[in-house]
Each structure stands twice: as C-alpha cells, then as structure tokens.
Amino acid sequence: MAVAWSCSRWYMGSVIIGATNMQQLKENIEASEITLSAETLAAIDEVHVRRRNPECLD
C-alpha cells in the first residue's frame, strides 16, 4: 500500500524500495501498479494531516 500511495502522489519524483531478494522486488513492482480507491487515498490523507511526521512522539 505504501508503494502504491507513494506512486500516486504528484509531487514524488521517485519511490525508493528496499528489496533484498527477487521476490520482494517483484512484489514492489506489482505494488507500484496498484490503483488505490479514492476512499483509501482520502483515509490515508486524513491520517497524514493529523500526524504529519509519524516519527515524532508526543
């Protein structure tokens, strides 16, 4: 889902994946071809608005 979401963002010039074997590489390539529904994108965007930087802990 993360790869598909990243590929759907107009402002991302590329998506870096961390495949360590051929199976992971194939899965990542397939994930880049997934089209997320408008509802899924809206739900992800809502989380992103609420928590811009998930690494920051309150």
The pTM of the whole model exceeds 0.75? no
Residue 12: what pLDDT? 86
Residue 22: what pLDDT? 97
**Token code pair at residue 56:** 């920051």
Residue 56: what pLDDT? 60
Give Cα separations from 38 to 29, 35, 50 (angstroms).
21, 9, 18
Reading the chain (58 residues) residue by residue, the pLDDT tens digits are: 999 999 998 888 899 998 999 999 999 999 999 999 999 999 998 988 887 766 665 5
Rounded CA-CA distance 34/46 in Å is 20
Residues ≥6 apart with Cβ < 8 Å to 40: 1
